[in-house]
Chain A
Amino acid sequence: MIKTELCDLLDITYPILQGGMAWVADASLAAAVSNGGGLGIIGAMNANVEWLEVQVARLRSQTSKPFGVNVMLLSPFADEVARAVVQLGVPVVTTGAGTPLKYMKDWLDAGIKVLPVVPSVAVAKMVAKRGATAVIAEGGESGGHVGDLTTMVLTPQICDAVSIPVLAAGGIADGRGMAAALMLGAVGVQMGTRFLVAYECQVHPNYKKRVIQAQDIDTIATGRRLGHPIRSLKSPFSMEYANLEYDSAISNEELEAKGSGALRIAVMEGDEKRGCFMAGQCAALVHKEQPASEIIREVCEEAEILLKRACQWIN
């Protein structure tokens, strides 16, 4: 069985975190992942504290295992959510879309384990210096907000730069990805796309169908013009958006407005024409719906077989 220092650090059985995907990572999915031995994470996205309180209460009614909340730093409610995670006694916080410097001291003082998602070596060093528990090195293969660097090159560089544990994210959907991540120096992985098709994930069936049917070339990163690109499955919406990016007659404000609400439409309505189906490049490696616990076990068992077999290359 694969066990790393991350398991002791977060009091989990398997070194797998579930990504804090906006509109996707709710109490249902997070509780299932935590019950399956990983760390389930509620994505606080742009939601207010009332929403988060309901989700945390719902999760706690389904599991007594540790869990986390992802604080999306661009959220208009980021300040309130940052205070709420302390009040709610959330054991682990991950962050995305920025650096959480102004919140870190309060969280760490409250005993919260803080794991920022980082897109570069400098950001990793910055949060490590301020006491982060671990960092999640996320490559641009991932879904949702993406950076330029790939998991393959980012992870080992961050492992070299910081002395705290490093997790890898982006492009990891099976045991091969997990084994590779461990060889790059990570002590665990965060997966999003694979959990999109967990039974307990409440997204619209069309969303799951599109992830399962996706092939290697079926994702696109849009929004580079606005400075915060996101990766999603190619769809009438995302392809039109990609075209609008090159249209100088469209202002940045119009472009921003065009994307607003499109993820919610994909998750809630499954509407192919108007929805933005965020997913990572590894959607092509995701083939079927399964319980979250089975996904976690399968990924770890595959990785274990591969890592044991790796010695065959050594004479």
Chain B
Amino acid sequence: MNTFDKVVALIAERRDLDTSTMKPETTFDDLKLDSLDKAELVMTLEETFGITIDTAEQMKTIGDVVALVEQS
């Protein structure tokens, strides 16, 4: 499973979202996820990947999340 697939699986799991519609350019707004959902995702990512994300405010799309995880 590559990083994109792992991130999509983590995002989808929380709200029973349909992974087939998720693309790198899909935004949190598209998914109806707010800032608290984003905070929840950041902590899940940090615990899953053993990383620290300090620029969560830059995360607008799934692609942004994947990039942050890969850079960390």
- Would B39 and A102 count as touching, CB distance under 8 A? no
Cross-chain contact A99 with B56 (CB below 8 angstroms): yes
Report A84-109 residues with CB < 8 Å from chain B CB. 98-99, 101-102
- Contact status B36-A125, CB under 8 Å: no
Q: List 17 A-B contacts (CB under 8 A).
A: A99-B56, A101-B56, A102-B55, A119-B36, A120-B36, A120-B39, A120-B40, A122-B40, A122-B42, A122-B43, A126-B39, A126-B42, A129-B46, A130-B52, A130-B54, A147-B36, A227-B35
Say yes or no for A123: interface residue by CB 8 A criterion.
yes
Q: Is B34 an interface residue (CB 8 A)?
A: yes
Residues from chain B with a CB closer than 8 A to the CB of A98 are: 35
Q: Which of B29-72 contact A (CB under 8 A)?
A: 34-36, 39-40, 42-43, 46, 52, 54-56
Q: In chain A between 120 and 137, which residues have their CB closer than 8 angstroms to a CB of chain B? A: 120, 122-123, 125-126, 129-130
Docked CA distance A119–B40 (Å): 12
Q: What is the total number of residues of chain B having a CB less than 8 Å from a CB of chain A?
A: 12
Chain B proximity of A205: nearest CB distance (Å): 37
Write the chain A residue with the least CB distance to B34: A227
Query: In the bound complex, how far is the Cα of B39 from the Cα of A130, in angstroms?
Result: 14
B36 closest partner in A (C-beta): A120
Q: B43: shortest Cβ distance to chain A, in Å?
A: 5
A-B contact count (CB 8 A): 29
Most buried by B among A98, A102, A126: A126
In the A-B complex, list the 4 residue pairs whose CB atoms are closest, starting with the nearest. A122-B40, A122-B39, A122-B43, A123-B39
> Nearest Cβ in chain B — how far from A74, in angstroms?
11
Question: Which A residues are in CB contact (< 8 Å) with B36?
Answer: 119-120, 122-123, 147
Q: Which residues of A contact B55 (CB under 8 A)?
A: 102
B-side contacts of A126, CB under 8 Å: 39, 42-43
Contact status B34-A99, CB under 8 Å: no
Cβ B46 vs Cβ A99 within 8 A: no
B45 CB, min distance to chain A CBs, angstroms: 11
Assembled-state Cα–Cα distance A274/B43 (Å)? 41
A120 to B35 alpha-carbon distance, docked (Å): 10
Please indicate the chain A residues that have their CB under 8 angstroms from the CB of B54 in the complex. 101-102, 130
Bound state CA distance, A122 and B43, in angstroms? 6
Q: For residue B34, which residues in chain A have a CB less than 8 angstroms away from its CB? A: 227
| Chain A residue with the shortest CB-CB distance to B41 | A122
Q: With the chains together, A129 CA to B52 CA distance in Å?
A: 9
Q: How close is A213's CB to chain B, nearest CB, in angstroms?
A: 34
Contacts of B46 in A (CB 8 A): 129
Q: How far is the CA of A102 from the CA of B52 in the complex (A)?
A: 12
Closest to B47 in A: A125
- With A and B bound together, what is the CA distance between A310 and B7 in angstroms? 48
B34 to chain A, nearest CB (A): 7
Closest to B37 in A: A122
A121–B36 CA distance with the chains assembled, in angstroms: 9
Within the complex, the shortest CB–CB distance from A127 to chain B, in Å, comes to 10
Compute how far the CA of A303 lies from the CA of B5 in the bound complex, rounded to whole angstroms: 52
Chain B residue contacts of A129, Cβ below 8 A: 46, 52
B19 CB to closest chain A CB (Å) equals 22
Residues of B within 8 A of A227 (CB): 34-35
Query: Which residues of chain B are within 8 angstroms of A120 by Cβ–Cβ distance?
Result: 36, 39-40
Residues of B within 8 A of A130 (CB): 52, 54
Q: Among the interface residues B34, B54, B56, which one has the most CB atoms of the partner chain A within 10 A?
A: B54
Q: How far is the CA of A189 from the CA of B14 in the complex (A)?
A: 32
